[in-house]
Amino acid sequence: MHDYGTTRGARKQAPPLDFAEIKQRVQGHWPSILRVIGLPEQFLSNKNGPCFACNGRDRYRFIDRNGDGWYICNQCGSGDGFSLVQKFLRVSTTEAFRTVDKALGGVAIERQHVTPATVGEGKDLSGLIEQTWRETRGVLAGDPVHAYLTKTRGLAVDSIPPAIR
Protein backbone atom coordinates (compact mmCIF):
# COMPACT_ATOMS: atom_id res chain seq x y z
CA MET A 1 0.00 0.00 0.00
CA HIS A 2 1.37 3.39 -0.98
CA ASP A 3 1.10 6.43 1.33
CA TYR A 4 0.58 9.39 -0.98
CA GLY A 5 0.85 11.86 1.89
CA THR A 6 4.55 11.17 2.48
CA THR A 7 5.88 10.69 -1.04
CA ARG A 8 7.88 13.65 -2.22
CA GLY A 9 6.29 15.39 -5.22
CA ALA A 10 3.01 13.48 -5.01
CA ARG A 11 -0.16 15.58 -5.05
CA LYS A 12 -2.39 15.40 -2.06
CA GLN A 13 -5.83 14.24 -3.14
CA ALA A 14 -8.67 16.65 -2.30
CA PRO A 15 -11.45 15.22 -0.16
CA PRO A 16 -14.53 14.12 -2.11
CA LEU A 17 -17.29 16.68 -2.49
CA ASP A 18 -20.88 16.02 -1.44
CA PHE A 19 -22.64 17.93 -4.22
CA ALA A 20 -26.14 17.51 -2.77
CA GLU A 21 -25.02 18.73 0.64
CA ILE A 22 -23.26 21.79 -0.84
CA LYS A 23 -26.36 22.62 -2.91
CA GLN A 24 -28.51 22.41 0.21
CA ARG A 25 -26.15 24.61 2.25
CA VAL A 26 -25.91 27.35 -0.40
CA GLN A 27 -29.67 27.47 -1.09
CA GLY A 28 -30.91 31.01 -0.41
CA HIS A 29 -27.39 32.40 0.18
CA TRP A 30 -26.24 33.02 -3.38
CA PRO A 31 -25.84 36.82 -3.33
CA SER A 32 -23.50 36.72 -0.33
CA ILE A 33 -21.59 33.70 -1.67
CA LEU A 34 -21.11 35.37 -5.07
CA ARG A 35 -19.80 38.50 -3.34
CA VAL A 36 -17.28 36.38 -1.41
CA ILE A 37 -16.18 34.75 -4.67
CA GLY A 38 -15.61 38.21 -6.13
CA LEU A 39 -18.56 38.81 -8.45
CA PRO A 40 -19.04 42.61 -8.55
CA GLU A 41 -22.26 44.00 -7.06
CA GLN A 42 -23.49 45.25 -10.45
CA PHE A 43 -24.00 41.61 -11.52
CA LEU A 44 -26.26 40.84 -8.54
CA SER A 45 -29.18 42.99 -9.69
CA ASN A 46 -32.47 41.92 -11.19
CA LYS A 47 -32.14 44.76 -13.71
CA ASN A 48 -30.79 44.34 -17.21
CA GLY A 49 -27.14 45.27 -17.41
CA PRO A 50 -23.82 44.27 -18.92
CA CYS A 51 -22.78 40.63 -19.03
CA PHE A 52 -19.37 39.77 -17.58
CA ALA A 53 -19.04 36.78 -19.91
CA CYS A 54 -20.01 38.08 -23.38
CA ASN A 55 -19.58 41.81 -22.70
CA GLY A 56 -23.10 42.58 -23.91
CA ARG A 57 -24.27 45.98 -22.64
CA ASP A 58 -27.86 45.19 -21.63
CA ARG A 59 -28.31 41.41 -21.75
CA TYR A 60 -27.72 40.08 -18.25
CA ARG A 61 -29.72 40.01 -15.01
CA PHE A 62 -29.45 38.06 -11.77
CA ILE A 63 -32.87 36.74 -10.77
CA ASP A 64 -31.99 34.26 -7.99
CA ARG A 65 -35.13 32.23 -8.72
CA ASN A 66 -36.11 30.15 -5.68
CA GLY A 67 -32.81 31.03 -4.00
CA ASP A 68 -30.87 28.96 -6.56
CA GLY A 69 -28.71 31.84 -7.84
CA TRP A 70 -30.34 31.96 -11.28
CA TYR A 71 -29.14 34.39 -13.90
CA ILE A 72 -30.14 35.11 -17.49
CA CYS A 73 -28.09 36.50 -20.35
CA ASN A 74 -29.94 36.90 -23.63
CA GLN A 75 -26.71 35.96 -25.45
CA CYS A 76 -24.96 33.42 -23.16
CA GLY A 77 -28.05 31.71 -21.80
CA SER A 78 -29.18 31.06 -18.25
CA GLY A 79 -28.27 28.84 -15.35
CA ASP A 80 -28.10 28.42 -11.60
CA GLY A 81 -25.52 29.80 -9.19
CA PHE A 82 -23.03 27.00 -9.87
CA SER A 83 -23.21 27.70 -13.59
CA LEU A 84 -22.69 31.39 -12.82
CA VAL A 85 -19.56 30.58 -10.78
CA GLN A 86 -18.30 28.39 -13.65
CA LYS A 87 -18.74 31.20 -16.18
CA PHE A 88 -17.35 33.93 -13.92
CA LEU A 89 -14.24 32.01 -12.85
CA ARG A 90 -13.96 29.92 -16.05
CA VAL A 91 -13.71 26.65 -14.12
CA SER A 92 -15.22 23.17 -14.29
CA THR A 93 -18.39 22.14 -12.49
CA THR A 94 -16.38 20.32 -9.82
CA GLU A 95 -14.16 23.35 -9.28
CA ALA A 96 -17.25 25.60 -9.05
CA PHE A 97 -18.67 23.36 -6.30
CA ARG A 98 -15.30 23.33 -4.53
CA THR A 99 -15.13 27.15 -4.71
CA VAL A 100 -18.65 27.52 -3.31
CA ASP A 101 -17.83 25.02 -0.56
CA LYS A 102 -14.77 27.11 0.40
CA ALA A 103 -16.85 30.31 0.29
CA LEU A 104 -19.30 28.67 2.68
CA GLY A 105 -16.35 28.03 4.97
CA GLY A 106 -16.79 24.29 4.71
CA VAL A 107 -19.37 24.45 7.49
CA ALA A 108 -23.08 23.96 7.38
CA ILE A 109 -25.20 27.10 7.43
CA GLU A 110 -28.05 26.85 9.87
CA ARG A 111 -31.26 27.39 7.94
CA GLN A 112 -34.13 29.17 9.57
CA HIS A 113 -37.54 27.73 8.93
CA VAL A 114 -40.01 30.46 8.11
CA THR A 115 -43.66 29.87 8.80
CA PRO A 116 -46.53 31.95 7.44
CA ALA A 117 -47.46 34.93 9.57
CA THR A 118 -50.23 34.33 12.06
CA VAL A 119 -51.63 37.87 12.04
CA GLY A 120 -54.98 37.91 13.69
CA GLU A 121 -54.95 34.18 14.34
CA GLY A 122 -58.15 33.22 16.08
CA LYS A 123 -59.69 36.67 15.50
CA ASP A 124 -62.62 37.60 13.29
CA LEU A 125 -61.14 39.73 10.51
CA SER A 126 -64.38 40.25 8.58
CA GLY A 127 -64.70 43.85 9.84
CA LEU A 128 -61.20 44.68 8.61
CA ILE A 129 -61.89 43.06 5.25
CA GLU A 130 -65.14 45.01 4.85
CA GLN A 131 -63.40 48.28 5.80
CA THR A 132 -60.65 47.65 3.25
CA TRP A 133 -63.27 46.97 0.57
CA ARG A 134 -65.13 50.21 1.38
CA GLU A 135 -61.89 52.25 1.19
CA THR A 136 -61.03 51.05 -2.31
CA ARG A 137 -62.76 51.69 -5.64
CA GLY A 138 -63.18 49.94 -8.93
CA VAL A 139 -60.96 50.59 -11.93
CA LEU A 140 -61.83 53.80 -13.78
CA ALA A 141 -60.89 54.88 -17.31
CA GLY A 142 -57.55 56.68 -17.18
CA ASP A 143 -56.26 54.77 -14.14
CA PRO A 144 -52.85 53.11 -14.59
CA VAL A 145 -54.56 49.78 -13.90
CA HIS A 146 -57.10 50.52 -16.65
CA ALA A 147 -54.34 51.38 -19.13
CA TYR A 148 -52.45 48.20 -18.23
CA LEU A 149 -55.49 45.93 -18.54
CA THR A 150 -56.80 47.42 -21.78
CA LYS A 151 -53.60 48.29 -23.68
CA THR A 152 -51.18 45.65 -22.45
CA ARG A 153 -53.52 42.77 -21.66
CA GLY A 154 -56.13 43.54 -24.35
CA LEU A 155 -59.25 43.53 -22.15
CA ALA A 156 -62.30 45.44 -23.35
CA VAL A 157 -63.20 48.51 -21.27
CA ASP A 158 -66.60 47.20 -20.22
CA SER A 159 -65.23 43.77 -19.27
CA ILE A 160 -63.22 44.89 -16.22
CA PRO A 161 -65.19 43.45 -13.30
CA PRO A 162 -65.98 45.72 -10.37
CA ALA A 163 -64.20 43.26 -8.06
CA ILE A 164 -60.84 44.37 -9.52
CA ARG A 165 -59.74 47.30 -7.42
**DSSP H or E stretch at residue 20:** helix 19-26
Q: What angle do CA 37, 41, 46 make, to 5 degrees?
A: 115
Residues 78 and 23 in one domain: yes
Question: If we measure between CA atoms, which residue out of 67, 64, 65, 84 comes closest to residue 24?
Answer: 67
Q: Are residues 25 and 79 in the same domain?
A: yes
Establish if 143 belongs to a structural domain: yes
Domain holding 164, by residue range, is 133-165
Q: Are residues 25 and 95 in the same domain?
A: yes
The whole model's pTM is what? 0.56
Output the tens digit of pLDDT for each of the chain's 165 residues.
Answer: 444 444 555 566 666 788 888 888 888 889 988 988 888 888 998 889 998 888 888 889 999 888 999 999 999 899 999 999 999 999 999 999 989 988 887 544 444 444 544 555 556 777 877 888 888 787 777 777 777 777 777 777 666 777 777
Compute the distance between CA of residue 108 and CA of residue 26 in angstroms, rounded to an integer.
Answer: 9
Residue 10 in any domain: the answer is: no
In a domain, 159, yes or no: yes
Task: Say whether both 92 and 48 belong to one domain.
Answer: yes
Split into its structural domains, the chain has a count of 2
